[in-house]
Amino acid sequence: MVDVTRARSFEGIGEEYDRYRPGFPQRAADVIIPESVDAALDLGAGTGKFTGLLLGRAARVIAVEPSAPMLAVLARNLPTVDARSGSAESIPAPDGSVDVVSVAQAFHWFDRAAASAEIARVLVPGGTLGLLWNRADPACAWDLACHRVAHPAVGADDDTSASATDLPGFVLDLHEEVRWTERITREDYLRRWGTVSSFLVADDAERAAMVASLETVLDGADETRGKAEFDLPHLTDVFRYRRV
C-alpha cells in the first residue's frame, strides 16, 4: 500500500532534489531503448534526471510529473522535452501513442494496478516499459548504515524495486544490474539525505537526530572518516517489460 504522505513529500522540493540526488548511468537507458524510437514518455519524471538520457534515443520525449516545482526544474533543464503535469494513474497522453514508458525511482509510489493499466493504454502494442531504481551497493557497509538511518523500518532503502515483479498486461524480458561509482563530497552526501521522503516528512528534531546519526556513520568508516570527498558505489536495477 502506497504511503500517500511520503509519495506527496516531493511536491515541495525541486531545486534541492535536482542538486543533490544521483543521476543514472547511460547503460540503463541503453537497456531500455537499445534502438532509437519515435516517442518515449518518462513517468514520475521529477526534475528529469532520467528523462535527459532519453534525448537522442527518442525523437519525441514526454515527461509526466505531478509536482509543479519538480516539473518547473525539468522544463528549465530540458527545454526540448514536452513536460506535462499528470500522474501515473491518469497519464495525459492518447491511447497507443508512445513506444516506450520509463519510470525511474518512482514506480513504488504509484497505485500499481491503475498505473499498469494506464501505461498499457498509452503504449503501442509490443511497446516497452522500463522500470529502474538506484540502490545501495550491499558491499558498501557505511552507505548501507546510512540507508538504515533514513529507513530503519525497511532496511536498505525506501526506493524499493520489490514492486517490479509480475505486472498485469506485461511480460518481463530482461533484468540487468548496472554498477557505477559516483565521486561525492561529504556535504553533498549529507544534503542528499535531506531530499528523501523520510527526511521530508520528519520534524526538525527528528531530522537533526538523523543527520547526527549519519555524521556518526561517516566518522566511523575508514573510507569516509576525515574526508571531504569520497567514492560512493551504486547499483541500478533495470527491469524491461513488453506490453502484451
Binding site for ligand SAM (CB under 6 A): 7, 10, 21, 43-46, 49-50, 65-67, 70, 87-89, 104-106, 109-110
Q: Measured from the CB of residue 58, what is the shortest distance to ligand SAM in angstroms?
A: 16
Instruction: Name which of 192 and 243 has its Cβ closer to ligand SAM.
Output: 192
* Closest to ligand SAM by CB, 84 or 175: 84
* Euclidean distance between CA atoms 37 and 56, whole angstroms: 9
Distances (CA, A) of 63 to 101, 121, 146, 167, 231: 10, 16, 31, 22, 31
If the CB atoms of residues 77 and 213 are measured against ligand SAM, the closer one turns out to be 77
Residue of closest CB approach to ligand SAM = 46
| Residue 39 or 74 having the CB closest to ligand SAM | 74
Rounded to a whole number of angstroms, the minimum distance from the CB of residue 162 to ligand SAM is: 15
Contact 54, 102 (CB under 8 A): yes
Output the smallest distance, CB 237 to ligand SAM, in A. Answer: 13
- Closest distance to ligand SAM from the beta carbon of 52 (Å): 10
Nearest to 164 by CA among 96, 105, 101, 235: 105
The three state secondary structure string of 68-134 is HHHHHHHHHHCCCCEEEECECCECCCCCCCEEEEEEECCHHHCCHHHHHHHHHHHEEEEEEEEEEEE
Nearer residue to ligand SAM within complex by CB, 10 or 230: 10
Q: How far is the CB of 44 from ligand SAM (least distance, A)?
A: 3
Using the minimum distance from each CB to ligand SAM, give the nearer residue, 86 or 127: 86
Contact 166, 112 (CB under 8 A): no
Query: Shortest gap between Cβ of 186 and ligand SAM (angstroms)?
Result: 22
Give the sheet arrangement for strand 58-65, strand by strand. 82-85, 58-65, 37-43, 98-104, 123-136, 229-243, 170-185
d(CA 165, CA 173): 11
The C-alpha atoms of residue 104 and residue 87 are separated, in whole angstroms, by 14
Please, what is the angle between helix 141-150 and helix 186-193, to 10°?
30
Query: Least CB distance from residue 37 to ligand SAM, whole Å?
Result: 19
Nearer to ligand SAM, 224 or 236 (CB): 236
Q: Which three cell numbers stand for residue 14?
A: 525541486
